[in-house]
Structure formats: structure tokens, C-alpha cells
Amino acid sequence: MSVNRPAAVVVLAAGEGTRMKSATPKVLHAICGRSLVGHVVAASRELSPEHLVVVVGHAREQVTAHLAEIDAEVCTAVQHEQNGTGHAVRMGLEQLTDSTDSGVALDGTVVVVCGDTPLLTGETLGRLSETHATEGNAVTVLTAEVPDATGYGRIVRDGASGAVTAIVEHKDATDAQRAIREINSGVFAFDAQLLIDALGKVRTDNSQGEEYLTDVLGILREAGHRVGACVAGDHREIVGINNRVQLAEARRLLNDRLLTRAMLDGVTVVDPATTWVDATVTFEPDAVVHPGTQLLGATHLAAHAQVGPNSRLTDTTVGEGATASFTVAEGAEIGAAASVGPYAYLRPGTRLGAKAKAGTYVEMKNARIGEGTKVPHLSYVGDATIGEYTNIGAASVFVNYDGVNKHHTTIGSHCRTGADNMLVAPVTIGDGAYTAAGSVITKDVPPGSLAVARGQQRNIEGWVARKRPGSAAARAAESAREEAAGEG
Ligand code: UD1
Ligand code: CA
């Protein structure tokens, strides 16, 4: 990270992004749990700039609202018409200088980035500002050698010194210039005052009739200032997203980067090709991720946690040594050494204690499950508090909804509820109590008692012989009777 704290970072995000063919503004499309502009803002934050301004234009209400959500400190500047990148930066800087107390001028470095380059890292931005500072440049452009430079601005260098002399846009370039594979990434570090002065001199006599930010380089160079370049180590880092094919490619690249970092930090990822993680997910060493797993949002895996195969965890914490297989979980806390699945659905507010179990075909919502308590099979636990080391019988339903309101069920510690219970909330079962299989529990059960709430069984002797004479059932019953008589 850079020690050269910039005065400002300006993020350009006013463009429309027509090639996305989307009702959603381009920079709000998301990969790995963040919008495109969200990734750029996060990388920019690593420079700790004094000001961070995002230039918005197209769908600006939506973009501004999103920015306020992800970063309260971001300020926005409106560019009403997209008159070019130079114009956009001018709008951003005017917003800052207007809102700065008593018209204080910006002093130091201004970094400009585009809002649609989600792979750009804070590290690369740091390297750019460092080069800018150590070389004492008026402007430093981040460049990259790309396999196909079509559409990009080309970096023109002096034949003898190798110094950058200009950036020529693809549409304005000669054939010789189009052969250049070093391109302008659209990311720059500028001396603030020189930038402001030069932007005032940018003209619009080019093929697009726009104010090109790139023209600032030529203007500064002609005025005798130093123009430098910093070449990105990996050209894929600077790609801008224009369509959904590039969106998918960027997602794959970023996902690979996140998984590589996790693996180098000690996480076992069995199949990186089918594992998807958000940038916000955290791991402890020796966590294991099995194939077909998505880890999203603020999900955290503790040491020796095992997740997957085929699971999707959103905003879920998995405790040390816990397992979750074939599981969908949202906003859940899974305690240490707890066991979830296969085929479990944990909804928001589920808190499984240490060594607890939510087994096969079990759904939970807003439920606190105490240490060592097990809900092993085919059950719904909604709006409940269960103590420690209790066992919930198979195929039980916590009947929490009366059609109008949701109600709570409380079950104590060391209870044994029978299979196929309907626990009609609000209801409380005391510590150490039992319930009989097939019970519909509508009344509180005192500690230590057995609740039986089901119809009494009645056997009607000889019914099959009378009502189904000559049937296979009647014959089977008859021979069973004879056999029993023979034995007796
Ligand atoms: C620009 C550069 C080009 C570089 C390329 C890298 C200029 C003149 N050209 O070209 O040298 O190789 O980026 O991707 O700078 N934007 C605004 N307002 C505007 C115009 C653009 O906010 O009036 C924003 C866009 O939303 C986008 C960024 O600036 O985030 C770049 O704009 P875009 O139109 O994609 O620039 P290019 O023509 O591709
Ligand atoms: Ca353009």
C-alpha cells in the first residue's frame, strides 16, 4: 500500500453501458458479491484518499443510492451529458473544490479510475501512485500490453527515450499507431493543480467530439512537465466490462484470485472450478470447501470447518470443525462441531450451538438450538428456542403460524420429543420432559412429564375376514392364525 495518500480519487461512472443490454446500470452489475463500481471503490479505499468522488450520469439516482449504501463517505458529482472522460474528471474535481471549505484548492495527487474495472487491485493503484511520486511526474498513466488492443487508446512513446509522448484514441489513430499493443488502462495519477489547469485547455476537435482526458498528457508534456507510465503486471487486471461475456470472464478471474489467496492461506478447496466465493468471505486455515459450493456475503469458515459438496451459504458463520453438506443457509450461525445436512435449509436467525445437529430434510428459521441438541430428520423448526442435549423426533413440525401471527415454541434441555409431533405455538416444554410419538402438543408440558396427545388405538378383531372374505389379506391372516394355534 502507498504511503503517498492522494488528495482525491475520481471514479468515472457516468457512461450508459448500452452493450450490457440491461435495465440495470452497468456499474451496478455484480461479481463476487460486489457491484463493479463497488470493487473499484474498495480498491480505491486502499489508497486512503482524502476525498473519493464518483462521477455519475446515466441512471444517477440508482447509482448514487447504491454508493450511499456501500460507502457512506463517497461523494458523487453529476455529469449531465457524457461529453468525454476529460469533462467527467472536470465535473468530479469541480464538485470537490466547490464543496471544500472556503474554496480550498486540491493539493497533491489525484488518481482517476474507471467504474467498470472490477479486477483492478489496491496494490496496483499503490504502485501507480508510488511511481508517480518517486519519479516526480505531472502525470503517470497505468498501461498494459494486451493481446488485442482494438478500441483502446494507444500509448505513443518517443523512439529514442521511450518516454510517453501521447495517448491516441483508436478512432483517431493511424495504422502505425494501431499496431501498438501497449494501451491506456484509463487509470492515472495526476498532480492536482496541473490537472485542473490542463483540463481547462482540452479541446473537442476529435472524431468523437469529446473532451478526452488523455489529451492532458500531451498538454502537460508540451508545457515541459514529466509524463510517466507504470505498466500493469497482469493486463487482465485493467479490463473494463462492456458486455455480459466480459462480466462472466471477470467473475471467473476474480473468483480464481480469491480462491488462490484462500488456498495460499491454508484453506483446502477441493475443486476451484466449481467453487464460487464473494470477496467478503473469510476463512481460517484448514477450512475445507467441497465441490459445487457457493460462499456468499459475510460468510466465515472457521478452522477445520467442512462445507459442501453442493451447498450455498450466505452471511453464515461455520464454527470450528462443523460440517454442512448439501446445505442452503442464509444468515445462520453454525456452532463448533455442529452438523448440518445432508439436505438442510437454515434460514435467517438460525443459531446452532456447539455439537448441535440439523439433519436430513430439516428446515430451520429464527431458531436457537442449544449445545448437543439434535433435530435429525424431516422436520421444520421455526421461531423456537431449544435447550441443551434435547432430541427432536423425526418428522416434527413447529407449528408457528396461525394464519395471522407467528408464535414461539420453547423447549428445555434433555427433552425427548416423539416422532411426528406437531408442536402448536405458543407452547413450552419443560426440562427433561418427553412427548409421545404422533402427539399434537397444544398445551405446556411441565418438566419431567410425558405428554401424550393422540387418539387411542382400537383393534377390531376379524374385520378382514368379515369385510374382505377370500382376499389375499384374509388368507394371510387365516394362516397366521393357524400357525399361532399350531405353536400353542
Ligand atoms: C477510454 C480512454 C482510452 C482507454 C480506455 C480504457 C479516453 C478518451 N479514452 O476509452 O484511452 O484505452 O478508456 O478502457 O479517455 N465516462 C464518463 N463520462 C464520459 C465518458 C466516459 O463518466 O463522458 C466514463 C465511462 O462510464 C467509463 C470510463 O469513463 O467508466 C471510460 O469511458 P469509455 O467510454 O468506456 O472510454 P473509452 O472510449 O473506452
Ligand atoms: Ca467512449
Q: Do 25 and 61 contact (CB within 8 A), yes or no?
A: no
The angle formed by the CA atoms of residues 129, 134 and 138, to the nearest 5 degrees, is 70
Alpha helices in 205-272 (DSSP H): 215-222, 244-264
Q: How far, in Å, is the centroid of ligand 1 from the Cα of 86?
A: 9
| Closest atom, ligand 1, to C-alpha of 81 | 23
Mean pLDDT of 326-345: 98
* Res. 488: pLDDT tops 80: no
Q: Measured between alpha carbons, how far is 12 from 54 in angstroms, rounded to an integer?
A: 6
Ligand nearest to the CA of 83: 1
CB atoms closer than 10 angstroms to residue 23: 7
DSSP letters spanning 83-128: --HHHHHHHHHHHHHHHSGGGPPP-SEEEEEETT-TT--HHHHHHH
Q: Is 11 in the pocket of ligand 1 (CB under 6 A)?
A: no
Express each pLDDT in 36-91 by its tens digit. 999 999 999 999 999 999 999 999 999 999 999 999 999 999 999 999 999 999 99
Please tell me if the CB atom of residue 55 comes closer than 6 angstroms to any atom of ligand 1.
yes
For residue 12 and ligand 1, the question of a CB distance below 6 A is answered with yes
pLDDT of residue 106: 87
Catalytic residue among 170, 225, 235, 377: 377
Q: From the CA of 89, which ligand is nearest?
A: 1
351 CA to centre of ligand 1 in angstroms: 48
The pLDDT value given to residue 100: 61
Q: What is the pLDDT of residue 19?
A: 95
Percent of the chain with pLDDT over 70: 98
CA of 47 to the centre of ligand 1 (A): 22
Ligand 1 pocket member 85 (CB < 6 A): yes
Q: How far apart are the first and last CA of the chain?
A: 91
pLDDT above 80: residue 1? no
Q: Ligand 2 centroid to 433 CA: how many Å? A: 72
> Among 85, 172, 180, which is best to mutate for testing ligand 1, by the most ligand atoms less than 8 A from CB?
85
Query: Average pLDDT in the 424-441 region?
Result: 98
Give the distance (Å) from ligand 1 centre to CA of residue 85: 6
Residue range 379-391, pLDDT digits in tens? 999 999 999 999 9
Q: Please identify, by atom number, the ligand 1 atom nearest to the C-alpha of residue 86.
A: 15
Answer yes or no: is pLDDT of 338 > 70. yes
C-alpha grid cell, residue 407? 408464535
Instruction: Compute the CA torsion angle 341, 346, 352, 358 (nearest 10 deg).
Output: -30
**CA–CA separation, 164 and 250 (whole Å):** 29
Give 291 Cα–ligand 2 centroid separation in angstroms.
41
Q: Is the pLDDT of residue 415 over 70?
A: yes
Across the chain, mean pLDDT equals 96
Q: How far apart are CA 291 and CA 260, in angstroms?
A: 15
Query: Where are the extended beta strands (E) located within 290-355?
Result: 293-296, 300-301, 306-307, 311-314, 317-318, 323-324, 327-330, 333-334, 339-340, 344-346, 351-352
Question: What pLDDT is recorded for position 2?
Answer: 44
Residue 307, beta-bridge partner list: 289, 324
Pocket mutation for ligand 1, best pick of 58, 95, 114 (most atoms within 8 Å of C-beta)? 114
What angle is formed at CA 287 by the lines to CA 286 and CA 292, rounded to 5 degrees? 135
185: Cβ–Cβ under 8 A, 6 or more apart, which residues?
Answer: 117, 120, 141, 142, 143, 144, 232, 238
Q: Within 13 A of 309's CA, how many CA atoms are on the CB side?
A: 7
pLDDT band at 251 (very low <50, low <70, confident <90, very high): very high
Give the SS3 label for residue 234. Answer: coil
3-state SS record for 24-68: CCHHHCEECCEEHHHHHHHHHHCCCCCEEEEEEECEHHHHHHHHH
Whether 51 is catalytic: no
Give mean pLDDT, residues 365-394: 98
**pLDDT computed for residue 263 by the predictor:** 98
What pLDDT is stored for residue 98 in this prediction? 83
Instruction: Please work out whether the CB of residue 293 comes within 6 Å of at least one atom of ligand 1.
Output: no
Helices 85-99/192-199 angle, 10° precision? 120
Looking at the chain, how many residues does it have? 488
* pLDDT at residue 101 is higher than 70: no
Q: How far is the C-alpha of 366 from the C-alpha of 159, rounded, in Å?
A: 69
Say if residues 55 and 88 touch (Cβ distance below 8 Å): yes
Give the DSSP H or E segment for 305.
Answer: none
Statement: residue 27 has pLDDT above 50 = yes
**Which ligand is in closest contact with the Cα of 12?**
1
104 pLDDT tier (thresholds 50, 70, 90)? low
Coil vs helix vs strand at 330: strand
- Interval 105-132 mean pLDDT: 96
Residue nearest to atom 8 of ligand 1 (CA): 212
pLDDT at 103: 57
Q: Which ligand sits closest to the CA of 53? A: 1
Is the C-alpha dihedral spanning 56, 239, 36, 97 positive or negative?
negative
Pairing of strands 164-168, 154-157: antiparallel
If you take atom 11 of ligand 1, which residue's CA is the nearest one? 153
What is the distance between the alpha carbons of residues 216 and 203, in angstroms, rounded to a whole number?
A: 10
Q: What is the pLDDT of residues 451-476, one digit of tens each?
A: 999 999 999 999 999 999 999 999 99
> In this predicted structure, what is the pLDDT of residue 257?
97
For residue 84 and ligand 1, the question of a CB distance below 6 A is answered with: yes
CA 31 to ligand 1 centroid distance, Å: 21
pLDDT of residue 127 exceeding 50:
yes
pTM: 0.93
Strands (E), 192-305: 227-231, 268-269, 275-277, 282-283, 288-289, 293-296, 300-301
